[in-house]
Amino acid sequence: RNSRWVKSSLPPKIHTIAMQECYSVGDAIRELDAKQLLRGDFILVSGDVISNVSLDTILEEHKKRRETDKNCIMTMVLKQASPNHRLRAQGEESLYILDSKTNQCVHCEPLELYPQKNKFKVDIEAFESHPSVQIRNDLVDCQIDICTLEVPALFTENFDYQDIRKDFVRGILQSDILGKTIYCHILSNQYAARAKSTKMYDAITKDVISRWTFPLTPDSNIQQGDNYRHSRNQIYKDQTVILARSAKLIEKVIVGANTEIGENSRISNSTIGHNCKIGDNVVIENSYIWDDVTIESNCNIYKSFVANGAHIWENVDVKKGCMISYNVEVGPDTVIDEFTKLTLHEEDEDG
C-alpha cells in the first residue's frame, strides 16, 4: 500500500480474512471455498515468496492449455537449479516426471531427508499414456501455482488434503477416478524462492543483495520513506545512516534508516534494520539485525538473528546459529553458546 509503484489510478484491493481454526494450508483453502470468494482462475502463492517473475506469460499459457485440456486444474511454477544450488532446501526437494512435449506432470515424488529414499514406484500406465518423459531432479518448487476453481472444491471434497504438494498434487496424480491433470512451467532466468527456513532466509537475502532479484533490490526504494544508495562491494546504506569514520562496511551489507554505527566496528554479509544503535568495536558477520536493536560496545555477533527491540549489552559474544527474539536483553559480559534461542514468550501447552 505504501509502495511508490502503486498509483492512485490502480489502487490494490487487499482483503484480509481471519481464520481461527486453520491448522494447515488445506484448511485455509477449504475455508476460502466455503466463503465462495473466488470467481475464476487464481494465483496461489505463499506469503514468504520472493520473486521477480512476470506471470503474464504463465497465465496466458495456462489459459491456452485449458482450452485444449479441459481436465487441467493447476500449473506449478518450478525453477531449474543445479544439484548444489543454494536455493535447494534439504528435505524440501522433489523428483518430477514430466511429459517431454507438454510439461504435464506425470509423477511427483517428495525426497525427504529422513528416511532417505533409494527407489520409488511409478504406475506403468503413466509411461503408456506418455511415451516420452523426462525424469528431473534439477527443479526447485517456487510455491507459485495457477489454479482453477476446481482446486478448492477438491480440497473440500477430500479432508485428507493438508499439504499442497505432498497431499493434493500426489493425490491428483495418483487418482484414476478424478482424471485431472497438472502441468509445470519451468523458469530459467527469472527468480523465485520461498524463505521457509532460516537457511533459505539467508540464501534469499544474499541473492537480493547480489541483485539476482532485480528490480527488487534495496536501492529500488520500494517502501515509502526508504532512501538507499548502492555502492561497490554490494553495500546498501540509507542516506540517514550515521557511520563513524573508522567503522567499516566490508561487503554485502544493508544498513537501514536512522541507524548509527560506532568507531572501529566492522560489518560484513549482514543486514542492519532501521533505528539501530551499534556501539564501538562491534563485529557483525553473516547476521540479521532487525529494527530498533541496540548493540553496545565490544560485542561479536556471528551467523545469528536479532529481532526487533532487542538490547545486547557490552562485551557479549553471540556464537553462530543463535536467535534472540523481540525485546530480549542480553549481557553484559556474556557468551551465548551456539544455536541458543532466547525469547520472552512462555512455551504454550503444545510445546
Alpha carbons 106 and 123: distance in angstroms, whole number:
10
Lowest mean pLDDT among 208-217, 291-300, 320-329: 208-217
* 190 and 226 housed in the same domain: no
Instruction: Kindly report the average pLDDT of the chain as a whole number.
Output: 88
Q: How many CA atoms lie within 13 A of 66 on its CB side?
A: 16
Residue 351 lies in a domain: no
Residue 4 lies in a domain: no
Domain count within the chain: 2
Has residue 295 got a pLDDT over 70?
yes
* 144 and 177 housed in the same domain: yes
Has residue 146 got a pLDDT over 80?
yes
Residue 304 lies in a domain: yes
Lowest mean pLDDT among 127-136, 222-231, 243-252, 296-305: 127-136
* 136 and 33 housed in the same domain: yes
pLDDT of res. 7 = 53
* 171 and 227 housed in the same domain: no
* 184 and 43 housed in the same domain: yes
pTM of the predicted protein model:
0.84
* 168 and 283 housed in the same domain: no
Which is nearest to 77 in space by CA: 170, 139, 167, 169?
Answer: 139
Residue 234 lies in a domain: yes
Q: Percentage of the chain with pLDDT > 90?
A: 56
27 vs 124 pLDDT, higher one: 27
Cα 328 to Cα 35, 225, 292, 295, distances in angstroms: 40, 27, 12, 12
* 132 and 32 housed in the same domain: yes
Boundary residue ending a domain (196, 226, 242): 196
Q: Using 50, 70 and 90 to split pLDDT, how confident is the model at 108?
A: confident
Boundary residue ending a domain (145, 164, 196): 196
For strands 93-99 and 105-111, give the pairing: antiparallel
* 189 and 222 housed in the same domain: no
Residue 35 lies in a domain: yes
Q: What is the pLDDT of residues 28-78, one digit of tens each?
A: 999 889 988 888 899 999 889 999 998 889 999 999 999 999 999 999 999
CATH number, domain with residue 242: 2.160.10.10
* 254 and 315 housed in the same domain: yes
pLDDT of res. 188 = 82
Residue 208 lies in a domain: no
pLDDT of res. 16 = 83
- What sign for the dihedral angle of Cα 144, 150, 153, 154? negative
Which is nearest to 190 in space by CA: 32, 56, 80?
Answer: 80
Residue 15 lies in a domain: no
pLDDT of res. 247 = 97
CATH number, domain with residue 151: 3.90.550
Residue 280 lies in a domain: yes
Q: What is the pLDDT of residues 9-32, one digit of tens each?
A: 555 677 788 887 888 899 999 988
Has residue 4 got a pLDDT over 60?
no
Has residue 347 got a pLDDT over 80?
no
Has residue 271 got a pLDDT over 60?
yes
Q: Which domain, by its residues, includes 130? A: 25-196
* 128 and 246 housed in the same domain: no
* 167 and 229 housed in the same domain: no
* 333 and 252 housed in the same domain: yes
Alpha carbons 156 and 280: distance in angstroms, whole number:
58
Q: What is the pLDDT of residues 170-197, one digit of tens each?
A: 889 888 778 899 999 998 888 998 888 8
Range 265-269 average pLDDT: 98
134 vs 258 pLDDT, higher one: 258
